[in-house]
Amino acid sequence: MNHSPRLPKMLAPYLFVMMLVIQTPKLLGTDLTPQTLAAFSRYVELTETRISTELKRPGQFLYVDGLPEVRRGQVLNLLRSGEIFIERLSTPDSSGKEIVPPGGMLHHWLGAVFIPGATLGQTLELVEDYDHHQDIYRPEVVGSKLVSRNGDDFRIFYRLRKKKVITVTLNSDHDVYYFPVDSTHCYSHSYSTRIAEVADADTPQEHEKPIGHDGGFLWRINSYWRFEEKGGGMYIECESISLTRGLPPVIGIIIKKFVTEIPRESLMMTMGSTRSALLARVQAAVRK
């Protein structure tokens, strides 16, 4: 009689997917190419054109302001109840077709929160405090530093870490530009300028892998924030556009959903941490 242990039927497919995720960097042979970057840049350009148009709408500063009336009401009620709104976005090309970077994947998500009692001044003080983002956005931001500032323009460093079956550590540089509109409105654009995967992180053997010749967990990331003070608090939105390595067709269908959930989870964490940190500051100010 064979007494060898058998995997539960529901567990076996899950472990198979996990094995594929772990092996994906080894299975993929595609490096970051100029063609991949060109597709990302085209996607960003078209998205920024849409964002620029939205920011000029009278009385409709936020992305959610442009939603159909019923949907907008539902989202605003959700936000004011303390929940996080997350939605996947997609920017087509001029002919309406999906932009697919060769050898890469685009991830485009929008997140929004509402913080009662918060002001624009308190919000900007928090989001511009880059030296302390490692305290606010743990466990994904394990190191942060303001490199330089020139007025409303910032150069910053983040050390990022993502645990999802495996652990990936990244050193990244970003340029961030803030655009004050008036006393209750501001928006910002953040662009990654350098992302390097770190091998053997936090050991004496730590070193960076060649940029663009790595696991492809994150090649580029742009973030577009909107801040509006109204209704007794702050509405904060963030659009995140990231570029990662593509998946081989043989396993892409199986783990594509799994992989695309990682950027969503990261944005959820970012928006939740922003709301919690800002709410704590509001409450501390009330107690004084």
Question: How confident is the model at residue 165, as a pLDDT?
Answer: 72
**What pLDDT, on the 0 to 100 scale, is given for residue 29?**
43
- 276's tokens: 């919690």
pLDDT value of residue 126: 97
Provide the token pair at 140.
């994904």
User: What's the rounded Cα separation, in Å, for the pair 254 and 258?
Assistant: 8
Looking at the chain, the whole-number percentage of residues with pLDDT higher than 70 is 85
Query: How far is the C-alpha of 180 from the C-alpha of 187, rounded, in Å?
Result: 7
Task: Give me the pLDDT at residue 77, please.
Answer: 97
Distance CA 113, CA 189 (A): 18
pLDDT reported for residue 288? 75
The two beta strands, 153-164 and 141-150, are: antiparallel
Per residue in 96-132, is it b (16+ CB within 10 Å) or e — as a string?
Answer: eeebebebbbbbbbbbbbbbeebbbebbbebbbebee
Look at residue 257 in the predicted model and tell me its pLDDT.
59
pLDDT tens for 93-138 read 999 999 999 999 999 999 999 999 999 999 999 999 999 999 999 9
Residues of the chain below pLDDT 70? 1-30, 248-260
**Domains of the chain: which residue ranges?**
19-287
Nearest in space to 270 (alpha carbons), one of 113, 114, 146, 120: 113
Per-chain mean pLDDT for the chain: 89
The structure tokens 């932009």 sit at 99
- The pTM for the full model equals 0.88
Tell which CATH classification among 3.40.1710.10, 3.30.300.30, 3.30.70.100, 3.30.530.20 matches the domain 19-287: 3.30.530.20
